[in-house]
A = this chain, B = another copy of it.
Amino acid sequence: MNILILGGDGFIGSHFVDQAVALNHNVTVFDRFPYNVSKNLEHQREKIKILTGEFANRDQVAKALEGQDIVYHFISATNPATSWHDPLVEIETNLKQSVQLFSLAVEMGVKKIVFPSSGGAVYGRRCGIINEEKTSLPFNPYGITKLAIEHFLNYFHEYSGIAADIYRIGNAYGPRQPMDTPQGVIAVWIGKILADEEVVVYGDSQTLRDYVYAEDVSYLLTHSLSDFNSSDIYNLGTGRGVSILELLDIFSLMIDKPFKYKICKCRNFDNKSVILDNSKLLSNFPGFKFQKIEDKIKGTWLCVRGRYENKQRKFA
């Protein structure tokens, strides 16, 4: 099967490349590659086709779509923090360019599009365990745009018959998550600890998140490869809420470097609570067990620290 992975050099994208290569698919990765192929994809270099381009460039995207059966769209130029003060940036980049992609995919005869949406942002200020049928009332531009992109996929499905799967992913974490954006609290904290800076903890015992390991995310995303004709919306999270203070405890226990922290109030653009009902997706993976955050933080830390130290050496 010919799979195009947009943003496949990034965090979740590159984990999904690993899955798709392991399943022996023909994988093409479209990304910016500002410094050639990154460490995320280096190990797959010989097994995939690499295309360098800009998501905003219609011709480059159209070329990448040629002959593809299915497209995984991992490109996102923003995060909840950056677009909180600039809602138009969401519309100009993520929304318009995603609609352009879908329109081109229809033109080029692609059979299915897979869109990783945000389980943390599309439901808005809902509490408790949320299933896919709950009314969405997003309040930050990031979540509003993710939801609008979901709806435009629904439109293209109705308009042209192209299939579309949407995964509303919880708080993904794991190796390769960038430390230099304000998204992904675990990577941000690791970055601070490595740089000997204070960790800022936003929230309290009621600030619950559904942390899901990147390898689990990418494995579950393979569900869309099993059927070209189906279209659906799935929550992709563990169904377990971990408070930000519990996360702090896990860090203190698992990370072999002392660090300072301060606790602050939740930021305006943060949800109070995100716990995703995953029963719909998991019904397709009988016996599947999520990896526990208590077991994966240490490995994530070691992996990120290893890369950090390599980089430090390189620039030393």
Residue positions of A touching B, CB distance < 8 A: 84, 87-88, 91, 95-96, 99-100, 103, 124, 133-141, 144-145, 147-148, 151-152, 154-155, 158-159, 268
Contact = CB atoms under 8 A, between A and B. Distances in A.
A57 B253 CA distance: 57
A158 B148 CA distance: 19
Contact of A133 (B135, B152, B154): B135
10 contacts: A84-B159, A87-B103, A91-B95, A136-B136, A138-B154, A138-B155, A139-B151, A139-B158, A158-B268, A159-B268
B103 A96 contact: no
A200 to B, nearest CB: 21
Nearest to A145: B148
A151 to B, nearest CB: 4
A84 to B, nearest CB: 7
B139 A148 contact: no
Contacts of A154: 124, 137-139, 144
A87 B158 CA distance: 13
A263 B138 CA distance: 40
A147 B150 CA distance: 12
Contact of A152 (B103, B144, B155): B144
B138 A144 contact: no
B155 A144 contact: yes
A55 to B, nearest CB: 15
Contacts of A148: 144-145, 147-148, 151
Given A87-B103, A99-B88, A138 B158 contact: no
Contact of A155 (B87, B134, B136, B151): B87
A141 B152 contact: yes
Contacts of A144: 148, 151-152, 154-155
A133 B145 CA distance: 20
A95 B95 CA distance: 11
Contacts of A145: 148
Contacts of A155: 87, 138-141, 144
B100 A96 contact: no
A147 to B, nearest CB: 7
A95 B91 CA distance: 8
A135 B137 contact: no
Residue with the highest number of chain B CB atoms closer than 10 Å, among A87, A100, A124, A155? A155
A148 B88 CA distance: 12
A130 to B, nearest CB: 11
Given A96-B88, A155-B144, A136 B135 contact: yes
A79 to B, nearest CB: 15
Residue with the highest number of chain B CB atoms closer than 10 Å, among A87, A100, A136? A87
Contacts of A141: 152, 155
A151 B159 contact: no
Contact of A99 (B84, B91, B133, B135): B91
